[in-house]
Amino acid sequence: MAYLELKDIRKSYYLGKEEFPVLKGINLEFELGEFVSILGESGGGKSTLMNIIGGLDREFEGQVIVNGKALDHSQEKRMDEYRRDEIGYIYQAYNLINHLTVLENVKLSLDMTTLSNQEREQRALDLLERVGLAEHAKKYPNQLSGGQKQRVAIARALSSDPKVIIADEPTGALDAENTEDVLKILDEIAAEGRLVIAVTHSQHVADAGTRIVHLAEGQIDGDERIRPAYPVDDANHRLTSKELSFAVSMRTAYKHFKFHFGRNLLIVIGTAIGLFAVMLFSGLGTGVNGYVNKQVTDLVNPKAVVVTQYQKGSSSSGGTGASQQQAYAQMAAGTSKTNFKTSDINKIKKLAHVSSVQKLYSATSVTVAYKGKQATAQSLSSWTSSNSNGTIKNGSKPGVGEVVLDKSSVAKNLTKSKAKSLIGKTVTLSYQAQDQSGNTVTVSFKAKVSGISSSQNSASYVNATTLTQAMRNAGVKPAATALAVKADSMNSSKTVVKEINRIKTNGERVFTATSVSSMISTIQTYIDLITNILAGIAAISLLVSALMIIVTMYMSVADRTKEIGILRALGESKRDIRRMFIAESLIIGIFSAVIATIVAFLAEVGANALLANIAKYDFIQIGFNHVILVFIIAIIISLLAAWLPARHAAALNPIDALAAD
């Protein structure tokens, strides 16, 4: 029984509406163990018939029957499997892939088998040993002679253990000695029980086989058996094929990436610049946000909510914008209304998430005297839970009879020594106020310096008991300028603000509440906006990088057109071809992200070292989330940029691709 049958194979090409028949009803049967030469002149249809037998040409009439089953050429996946399982190709032009070593070329088909990597390599080495090229396994094709290249092609054709070997003018580019070597190997292959079909126009090559089929003008005009076919051992073990894995596609793509490293490096650097800018600006935004948070929370407890008397006409939004600035200004100047009723204060204490409520007292233009020297504190406030310990640069918060002096406007003007030398010393504080009769009086008291506030803060602080007692001693009725409310967390402070602003007495709103967290959120919003704008500008360079990758991939498709045809002939599917180019683009993206990350971290260290003299803070803070973001961006850009070139590569006709120069 014939292993391969061709039944009434017809093929025509069309130029406009005019038909040009190439194959005119070919009927042939082939057996395993035969070395069949299809002999004929150029243009007689030999190559077309070879492409139909090899499963590359699917547009024809008739049937190809393999081992008793007709091939359905309309099922592309089935034809890929057919080429993987049944067909091995040997070409006149060798069709080796230049960026792969001899060993890697032979392993191409083996990558689509179930053999382990070690078994694949051993089989490839054994085949190279068989054709006398084991010592050249690590060389590249351009380092071999023509005869050596053809023997590599033979080893590759045998690697997947196919039943049918198709040789297209296998000796056409060889000298006499190499021709005899190749013909001997082909005869040995047939003797192993395989079907060898050699397409040739050489009578000498044809005579080396077991059978000669004459093809002229698309028809069989002779079928001559020279000698019997070789016996076939049906017990031969066959390799099991499988689809190409993505890991193999990545490995192949990486080898091509290395082979054209110079060209690819330019694309990597261009892409890395854009990714670096995105990472750096994101890290800068994080750092600046952190710096602002630190500065604000060093001055004021982030859980603090400041409550002043509500005034009609003020903003009712509560917690942001003008109302916030107004509340802090009134508190500092001591001009806010002081009608805080006990019943209203109790309402605040009963609210959820409120941990404490304290009255805040303040005075302005306070004269501080020490050893004949005077300085003016623009603001003197009682210490409450709204204050942060970070406010105090040296020393501790004020207890009864103690004061914390502002470093820049007060402490430095009272001593020639360091400001902290005043800690433990007694100073005299005085300011003007009105007594209960409306007369202007001087409120004066002595206090021991317990601490020095930071230079960023322009306020001085005193214990509330000390300040209110001094007021009473001068005949001034203590009146709170604000309430310091402490929330149980920074997140809940916004809720507390809303609830306090909802408190009403006799239908009238009572308080205006503001929070530090609201102020921080507002600042962060603006910082995030600026950061996003900068990152957006950086992203423009990524668009350019994407275009560069697209151009590079199209160039790669053009350079590798013949390689695409070779891989399709070996049994790789359109999906495998797409994945190969997508994998190469991914490698470019990943390398770009790695370089961008390394450079960004180096820039972070350098920039923070330079800025350390300005402020002892890391203004650039690149975190793991920024690294992940950059890698995600790189992968997305790579996938998008590779999609069209990869589709184009997969859509190439393998016959046309093999014919490309």
The first and second tokens of residue 409, run together, are 């406007």
pLDDT digits (tens, 9 = 90+) for 169-179: 888 888 888 88
Lowest mean pLDDT among 469-473, 534-538, 602-606, 640-644: 534-538
Q: How many C-beta atoms lie closer than 10 Å to residue 461's C-beta?
A: 28
Q: How many C-beta atoms lie closer than 10 Å to residue 251's C-beta?
A: 13
Give whole-number Cα distances, 12 to 24, 25, 84, 199, 435, in Å: 9, 11, 27, 20, 115
Task: Give the pLDDT band of residue 301 (cuts 50, 70, 90).
Answer: confident
The burial of 656, by beta-carbon neighbours within 10 Å (0-12 exposed, 13-18 middle, 19 or more buried), is given as exposed
For the chain, give every domain's residue range. Answer: 4-242, 248-296+523-659, 304-313+321-515
Beta carbons of 257 and 584 less than 8 angstroms apart? yes
Q: Which residue blocks in 334-463 are alpha helix, DSSP H? A: 342-349, 412-414
- Return the higher-pLDDT residue of 538 and 398: 398
- The pLDDT assigned to 512 comes to 84
Instruction: Give 272's contacts (C-beta < 8 A, 6+ positions apart).
Output: 591, 592, 593, 595, 596, 599
Tell the CATH topology of 4-242. Answer: Rossmann fold (3.40.50)
Query: In the predicted model, what is the mean pLDDT of residues 434-443?
Result: 88
| Rounded distance between C-alpha atoms, residue 190 and residue 195, angstroms | 6
Lowest mean pLDDT among 311-315, 351-355, 575-579: 311-315
Instruction: Give 92's contacts (C-beta < 8 A, 6+ positions apart).
Output: 168, 169, 170, 172, 173
The first and second tokens of residue 323, run together, are 């109302």
Torsion of CA 504, 509, 513, 518, to 10 degrees: 100
Average pLDDT, the chain: 86
The first and second tokens of residue 386, run together, are 């709204």
Residue 319 has pLDDT above 60, yes or no: no
DSSP 408: I
Task: Give the pLDDT band of residue 298 (cuts 50, 70, 90).
Answer: low
| Element containing residue 449 per DSSP (H, E) | strand 440-453
Torsion of CA 588, 589, 591, 596, to 10 degrees: 140
Query: In the predicted model, what is the mean pLDDT of residues 318-339?
Result: 45
- Pairing assessment for the beta strands 402-406 and 373-382 based on DSSP bridges: unpaired
Rounded (5°) CA angle 274-278-283: 145
- Return the higher-pLDDT residue of 438 and 339: 438
| DSSP states along 221-260 | EEEEE-SPPPP--TT---PPB-PPPHHHHHHHHHHHHHHT
Query: In the predicted model, what is the mean pLDDT of residues 265-270?
Result: 88
| Rounded distance between C-alpha atoms, residue 527 and residue 214, angstroms | 82
Rounded (5°) CA angle 612-618-622: 140
Side chain identity at residue 477, one-letter code: K
Q: How many C-beta atoms lie closer than 10 Å to residue 118's C-beta?
A: 8
The burial of 642, by beta-carbon neighbours within 10 Å (0-12 exposed, 13-18 middle, 19 or more buried), is given as buried
- The pLDDT assigned to 318 comes to 44
DSSP 409: I
Instruction: Give 359's contacts (C-beta < 8 A, 6+ positions apart).
Output: 340, 382, 464, 480, 482, 483, 484
pLDDT digits (tens, 9 = 90+) for 360-383: 888 888 999 988 888 888 888 888
- What is the model's pTM? 0.71
